Structure 1
Amino acid sequence: MLRPSTQRYSVTRPLYSEDAFEDEHAKVYRKHKRFLHHVIQYFTCTSERAKNTAISLLPIIGWMKTYSIKDWLLNDILSGVSTGLVAVLQGLAFSLLASISTWYGLYAAFFPVIMYFFLGTSRHISVASFVQQWCGVSYAFNFSENHGVDVVEKIPNTFESPITPSLQVFQMTAVEAFPIAIVGFAVAFAVAKVYSVKHDYVIDGNQELIAFGASNIFGGAFKSLAASTALSRSAVQESTGGKTQVAGLLSAIIVLVVILGIGFLLEPLPKSVLGAVVIVNLKGMLMQVVTVPYLWKKDRPDCIVWVGTCLAAIFLGLDLGLAVGLGLELLTVVFRAQFPRCCVLANISGTDIYRDRKDYVNIYEPEGVKIFRIPSPIFFANIDFFRDKLKDAVGFNPLRILRKRNKAVKKMKKLIKKGELTLTSNGLQATCSMPIEESEDESNMEDLDKPTDYSDLPVQVNWNAELPANIRVPPVNIHSLILDFSVVSFLDISALKGLKAAIKEFIRINVDVYIVGCDPYIIEKPRNCTFFDDEIKTSIFFLTIHDAMLFIHESHPPKTVSEKVSGSVQYQHVNSSSTSSWLTIQADMKMEVETDTKPETRF
């Protein structure tokens, strides 16, 4: 591998506007499918699609075909046994936490696991920390009779008969069940995603939702607790070597053995031990509070969402806390999109690269040119912000300049007509002294927003020079404005109208506007929405900032034939009968515009 300091490249290609690029490079015609076609295709059944659907709904078909008995079975057995023993204690503990009979927690460790074995796509979710030594101690000391300690008590050695869902119960619990379902699935999917990335396999979010839904329906028929997963359980299953959900199936078998055969051994277990199990499982979650200072330093909006959601969940309850967290997250997204970090770009010396001028020392800012970037979509909510930031970047309000120029032209025409301004060899001169007039209220002068009418003026007005008759118009120190849209993902109709108005304001004060780096679909939007007219042409679009910069240097040539941009970067304009301008990025990183009768592109 070459060291960065020795890497060079040489490119010879045309200077491209979007129009020139499309003229030279033909596009592939793609027929876009209509909505009806997608509907028909969705409901069309073929043998291949039926096979894929079956594999999708029953992921066990896919991974069982590749199951390695030699490499995976022993690990799954060890992990399954550990998972089963821990699941027993966790089931009892969570039942205690929910203030229901302890065996319903054991049901949650059996029925949903069986269903997820067939329908789930994650190979690792389940399990928690291992504390089974307390069972033998509790059985030997008989805490209930000797010390009056609350214990687990009777565990039935059979399952209750399944029941059908109760509409009355559904009506009573629907509101509370919804946030529980959302949180439960979100936690389970997040944990599953972590381990799928770590072990390089794919999980399907839609199938996971189906799997957990079916698991809870199946378990609910036997009155089990709602099933999800936990960070600690998943960490144990993965760390003990579990490879697939065979470990989960074996854990369910362990729970089955406890329920039907040896549940009596857990009856003298103190409830305080189950409370310890709950605390141990919550430890990882509670210790996340130590990450708050780190979040505050790295990403304050995310930190605010984290703290706000946590406090809302504590004081308002889980359902309202979840709603508050969702609201805060939406607010951060809105604020980031509505108030993006706009910047003015400059050329990095010796390259065709442009970066924020505040971030680098060795930069070159082309005279008379401003390069403005907005790093977000432009839509109705941030178009006014975009226009305000653009005015700040160029240092003036183009509409105000336009109005003052129109007022000045009207005044000059009026003075010429009265004979108070005459044409001399030095331009227009006042025949008498005139006071400096302050600007009038321009808020209702719609005619001043139109393009300046220079007809009937005997000379061309130089707005950056001193004007006659004490007329004052703020100077404009740029002749070109480049808008970098390389990170603009979409434009809505409102933004398009605002953008059109902003561009016209600059064009009417003789500032050329160029838009660069657009996605092809962004360019199609203006074409389909009557964006272009006599003032705004399709030629304002260029492929890159550097293409636009070279075009500007050709339109506004420097005083010399060849002028260095910065350091080793050169812009050279050569007169030729050829109509093609070509960009060469030399091996020493010199850039020049030249003509070629036999153009070619080299990389």
Structure 2
Amino acid sequence: MSCKTSSNSIVDIEKQKPYNKVPYLVARNVLKQDELEHVAGYNRHKDTPLETIQENFKKFQPKSVIFDLFPALKWIPEYPVQKNLVSDLVSGFTVAIMHIPQGMGYGLLAGVDPIVGLYMAFFPTLIYFLFGTSRHISMGTFAVISIMTSKIVATYSDPNYGNTNLNSTLDEAADNLPQYQYTPFQVATAVSMVCGFYQIIMCVLRLGILSSLLSEALVNGFTTAAAVHVFTSQLKDILGLKLPRHKGAFKVLLSLRDIFSNLPSANMYAIYISIICISFMFLMNEFVKPWVAKKCKFPIPTELMVVISFTFVSYMLNLGGSEYKVREVGKIPTGLPMPQMPPIELIKLVAVDSIAVCIVSYSVVMSMALIFAKKEYYEVRPNQELLALGLSNIFGSFFSCIPLSCSLSRSVIQYQAGGKTQLTSVFSASIILTVLLWLGPLFETLPRATLASIIIVALKGMFMQIKDLKRFLKEGILESAEWIGTFLTVIIIDIDVGLLAGVIISILALYIKGLKSYSSMLGQVPDTDIYVNLNTHKNAIQLPNIKIFRYSGSINFATCSSFKKALFDNIGVNHRLIRRASLCETQSEARGFNTDMHTLIIDLGSVAHIDMSGYRTFLEIRSEMKLIDVKVYLANASDCVYDSLTRATDLGHPSLECFSSVHDAVLFALKKLEN
């Protein structure tokens, strides 16, 4: 049903007056929706579950399934050695240099030994190399995941239980913390294993799409607030204080209270170290690195320079001795850890707490992966990423690893350094292995203030996200409510509660947006079969005796009332009068209603879904409009909406007249009027 826009138009339009005759003739019969479906050969047949399984079994190809399960088997044989090898080597070396200080710092941040951060850069990243689909993200430790893990570790572990390396380095436990007989290592690995199981279950259930529930505003506000948690947790090391740990609500506020009350006992040498480290890294990152980046791709390893320098200074001056009393990293074991499974009873304890860690780690990975995939024009498969993360976490849990995620800063550096494929992580892991086997003890005298300084400087990008609030305020009140609500809840209460609050706000925003509808009255563009909004198109003509109503949105149990109200408001009918007449089942109550309308056409072209409540609403409207001698027709239904209409009649509901287009309904109404 095309309009007459050229001499090749398939519609023969003949202008006629007056309007009580058929205004435009078409070179076919007027079609109702069921007639159109018959002519077009529409097939409503849907396979049964058994038929679907049989069809999928016929299409089953073992080779394709193996390649889908192990993406590395597909691209490794096609790897362009001459083109990518040098770039991946340089990028892998660069990322490994960043892994050493960041891994140690984030390991300490998670409440376990610093060496765990290096384990994270080796064991789970090799599994992700085999199963992951992103070519550019740097897997390993991430500040937000570390701080979330530390909360669970603080809740369920006793730092004085067992022979762990943390006995001399962990802060004193708060009096209100319950004492469980588990080491921090056991709790952290249990969280990693549970997260892995959750992610594999999500993969099997094809729930990769759930990451879309975490909107940009939510993730932005959450990570910005989480950066405040990380910053607060590092202040004690910056100031050289030894403070009790807090858990639960108001943790940030309680920690700040303790810090300010203990400022007089701060270690001035730790403060000097922090000031020097932060100043040096700031100057390098803001001025020197950008200048060097214009000259070569290889970035200056600022963090590693700081780590090596202060490890040497601390060793030479014995900063950890009785004279300076600067807290050091402490004993770092050499070699690889023996595989050990977390206690089964502990897995049950952390099951609920690990849900938030699982969702956040996956969302961060998918967000970064999609950014690079869009830049480099390749595909990232959400469900495969769930499988890769799940297997990596389960494997890593046997080797003292915390939950896996990707670092924003390392991923950007890996991309800027020229990394092309996942082989970058293999080269990086090889260098980390060297550190684990031989070089780890060299960093035992490293001041914890240095690692805290590295973490705080790395948080700059996350803190700068607060600028995005201005953009969300411009986008709308719902987006800004998501950001502000998530941000404040995370800071004031806690990270997991804030994430839950953000998800709830996000779902409510989606619900409100889904309920928000748009309605208008349509008029005809002269000499065409096109119908447009009368309010926004000044040349559109209102057809005499016919009113055409368009509704955009779903018509279901939640929107029936608003749809009906919008309809009667737009056509100018007193619904109360009509409703009273329908209840009395007589037209006498409606005699006072004066209208020249004889036909109401409801355009369903912008309606995405109709349920049985919506269908019954159409029947009510038809019955009520019949009392004032107005015919009601539906038009322009999509296939899914037409299926819903047909399904309703199959269930015994009265049928409704539905036409293939608004113009067909208009022509039919005019012809009925003539007769």
> Is the TM value for this pair above 0.5?
yes
SS in 2 for 1:491: coil
The amino acid that maps onto 2:634 is: I
Contact 1:349/1:364 (8 A) holds in 2: yes
Instruction: List aligned pairs for 1:204-603, cutoff 5 A.
Output: 204-348=381-525, 352-398=529-575, 400-401=577-578, 446=583, 448-450=584-586, 473-530=592-649, 540-556=657-673
Q: Report the Cα distance in structure 1 between the residues aligned to 2:352 and 2:655, rounded to whole angstroms.
A: 56
Closer/same/farther in 2, CA of residues 533 and 475 from structure 1, 3 Å limit: farther
Contact 1:84/1:254 (8 A) holds in 2: yes
Closer/same/farther in 2, CA of residues 330 and 135 from structure 1, 3 Å limit: closer
What are the ranges of 5 or more consecutive residues in structure 2 without an aligned counterpart? Answer: 12-26, 143-284, 286-300
Aligned equivalent of 1:115, options 106, 115, 127: 127
SS in 1 for 2:136: coil
Aligned equivalent of 1:94, options 103, 106, 109: 106
Q: Report the Cα distance in structure 2 between the residues aligned to 1:54 and 1:399, rounded to whole angstroms.
A: 65
Closer/same/farther in 2, CA of residues 304 and 343 from structure 1, 3 Å limit: farther
SS in 1 for 2:113: coil
SS in 2 for 1:374: strand
Closer/same/farther in 2, CA of residues 343 and 37 from structure 1, 3 Å limit: same
Contact 2:30/2:667 (8 A) holds in 1: no
The amino acid that maps onto 1:74 is: V
Q: Report the Cα distance in structure 1 between the residues aligned to 2:112 and 2:541, rounded to whole angstroms.
A: 72
Q: Report the Cα distance in structure 1 between the residues aligned to 2:630 and 2:437, rounded to whole angstroms.
A: 85
Contact 1:337/1:382 (8 A) holds in 2: no
Closer/same/farther in 2, CA of residues 384 and 30 from structure 1, 3 Å limit: closer
Residues 14-40 of structure 1: CA deviation (Å, up to 9, x unaligned): 364335753872415564210223345
Closer/same/farther in 2, CA of residues 277 and 25 from structure 1, 3 Å limit: same
Closer/same/farther in 2, CA of residues 507 and 113 from structure 1, 3 Å limit: same
Is residue 2:32 matched to residue 1:18?
yes
Aligned to 2:94: 82
**C-alpha displacement of 1:7:** 8.6
Is residue 2:78 matched to residue 1:66?
yes
The amino acid that maps onto 1:542 is: F
The amino acid that maps onto 1:519 is: S
Is residue 2:318 matched to residue 1:145?
yes
SS in 2 for 1:332: helix
Aligned to 1:578: none
Aligned to 2:251: none
When normalised by structure 1's length, the TM-score is 0.74
Contact 2:92/2:426 (8 A) holds in 1: yes
Closer/same/farther in 2, CA of residues 356 and 323 from structure 1, 3 Å limit: farther
The amino acid that maps onto 1:303 is: S
Closer/same/farther in 2, CA of residues 473 and 450 from structure 1, 3 Å limit: closer
Residues 181-190 or 131-140, more deviating: 131-140
Residues 169-218 of structure 1: CA deviation (Å, up to 9, x unaligned): 21221111111011111111121122222211112211111111111111
Q: Report the Cα distance in structure 1 between the residues aligned to 2:479 and 2:8, rounded to whole angstroms.
A: 41
Q: Report the Cα distance in structure 1 between the residues aligned to 2:588 and 2:98, rounded to whole angstroms.
A: 82
Q: Report the Cα distance in structure 1 between the residues aligned to 2:449 and 2:596, rounded to whole angstroms.
A: 78
Comparing both structures, which one devotes a greater share of its residues to strand?
Answer: 1
**C-alpha displacement of 1:527:** 2.9
SS in 1 for 2:509: helix
SS in 2 for 1:11: coil
**C-alpha displacement of 1:481:** 1.7
**C-alpha displacement of 1:278:** 2.0
Residues 526-549 of structure 1: CA deviation (Å, up to 9, x unaligned): 333238999x765x3222223333
Residues 420-476 of structure 1: CA deviation (Å, up to 9, x unaligned): xxxxxxxxxxxxxxxxxxxxxxxxx84x235679xxxxxxxxx9xxxxxxxx70212
Larger relative contact order, structure 1 or 2 (CA cutoff 8 Å, min sep 6): 2
SS in 2 for 1:152: coil
Aligned to 1:134: 306
Q: Report the Cα distance in structure 2 between the residues aligned to 1:141 and 1:532, rounded to whole angstroms.
A: 83
Contact 1:402/1:449 (8 A) holds in 2: no
Aligned to 1:590: none
Contact 2:341/2:397 (8 A) holds in 1: no
Residues 506-515 or 136-145, more deviating: 136-145
Residues 300-341 of structure 1: CA deviation (Å, up to 9, x unaligned): 212212221222222232222222122112212222233423
SS in 2 for 1:363: coil
Q: Report the Cα distance in structure 1 between the residues aligned to 2:417 and 2:424, rounded to whole angstroms.
A: 10
Q: Report the Cα distance in structure 2 between the residues aligned to 1:377 and 1:215, rounded to whole angstroms.
A: 42
What are the ranges of 5 or more consecutive residues in structure 1 without an aligned counterpart? Answer: 1-5, 405-444, 454-462, 464-471, 558-574, 576-603
Contact 2:550/2:604 (8 A) holds in 1: yes
Closer/same/farther in 2, CA of residues 499 and 261 from structure 1, 3 Å limit: same
Is residue 2:52 matched to residue 1:38?
yes
**C-alpha displacement of 1:282:** 2.7
The amino acid that maps onto 1:356 is: N
SS in 2 for 1:134: helix
Contact 1:340/1:376 (8 A) holds in 2: yes
Q: Report the Cα distance in structure 2 between the residues aligned to 1:400 and 1:174, rounded to whole angstroms.
A: 58
Q: Report the Cα distance in structure 1 between the residues aligned to 2:454 and 2:116, rounded to whole angstroms.
A: 17
Q: Report the Cα distance in structure 1 between the residues aligned to 2:47 and 2:90, rounded to whole angstroms.
A: 52
**C-alpha displacement of 1:70:** 1.4
Residues 264-273 or 127-136, more deviating: 127-136
Residues 239-248 or 198-207, more deviating: 198-207
Q: Report the Cα distance in structure 1 between the residues aligned to 2:112 and 2:34, rounded to whole angstroms.
A: 74
Residues 73-82 or 525-534, more deviating: 525-534
Contact 1:339/1:382 (8 A) holds in 2: no
When normalised by structure 2's length, the TM-score is 0.67
Residues 551-591 of structure 1: CA deviation (Å, up to 9, x unaligned): 4444557xxxxxxxxxxxxxxxxx9xxxxxxxxxxxxxxxx
Q: Highest CA radius of gyration, 1 or 2?
A: 1
The number of aligned residues is 491
SS in 1 for 2:76: helix
Residues 202-211 or 28-37, more deviating: 28-37
Contact 1:76/1:247 (8 A) holds in 2: yes
Contact 2:33/2:660 (8 A) holds in 1: no
Comparing both structures, which one devotes a greater share of its residues to helix?
Answer: 2
The amino acid that maps onto 2:50 is: L
- The alignment's C-alpha RMSD in Å is 3.0
Contact 2:578/2:624 (8 A) holds in 1: no
The amino acid that maps onto 2:32 is: E
Q: Percent of aligned positions with the same letter in both sequences?
A: 30
SS in 2 for 1:14: coil
Closer/same/farther in 2, CA of residues 550 and 285 from structure 1, 3 Å limit: farther
Residues 296-305 or 543-552, more deviating: 543-552
SS in 1 for 2:79: coil
**C-alpha displacement of 1:478:** 2.4
Contact 1:135/1:265 (8 A) holds in 2: no
Closer/same/farther in 2, CA of residues 225 and 475 from structure 1, 3 Å limit: same
**C-alpha displacement of 1:136:** 3.5
Contact 1:18/1:542 (8 A) holds in 2: yes
Contact 2:578/2:625 (8 A) holds in 1: no
